[in-house]
Amino acid sequence: MPSLLTDLEKNEIQACLDSVRDTFFRDIYVFIEKATESPNNIPSDFNPLYGSNKQTLSHSTSRNQLERVTIQAIVKYENFQDERVIDAQALMNLSASEGRVRLKVKKEGYEKLKISSRVEVDGGLYTLEGDAKHIGPFDSQYYQVNLKREN
């Protein structure tokens, strides 16, 4: 299907939008769990009560370590409801939008964000909520992700 804009015009519009978005990007921190293995020399028939060890076998123990990665994102705090709706939440079973954050990230940041366990925004910890949404006028170069407060 033919387009009203040429490829050159699309690239110029995309470059202008990128420069506007770059002014609003800021650093957020993403925590990614990495499994590390450490070798241990513990006998297979070791009894900690009696301390008997006849044969020593080596095996590895895996431990999870959190790696803190910095990515660039546009942060928007969502607050769509006023206090009256939040106070009536117990009666109407509504979920309040307090403690929710919307992020816009580039594709490189999204690759790290989707495997993260937690996200730190302005000192608060958040977890991913739902799937990402592709954003872009001509192609999806950005992703929109919703977060909710961890506690």
Given a contact cutoff of 8 angstroms between Cβ atoms, the answer to whether 13 and 5 are in contact is yes
Residue 40 belongs to what H/E stretch? Answer: strand 26-43
Degrees (nearest 5) of the Cα angle 7, 9, 12? 110
Taking only the tens place, the pLDDT of each residue in 136-145 is 888 778 899 9
* Stated pTM of the model: 0.66
End-to-end CA distance of the chain: 49
Q: For residue 99, is pLDDT > 70?
A: yes
How confident is the prediction for the chain on average, in pLDDT?
77
75 has a pLDDT exceeding 80: yes
User: What is the pLDDT averaged over residues 15-43?
Assistant: 80
Query: What local confidence, expressed as pLDDT, does residue 65 receive?
Result: 82
Q: Which secondary structure element, helix H or strand E, spans residue 38, and what is its range? A: strand 26-43
CA-CA distance, 71 to 116, in Å (whole number)?
A: 12
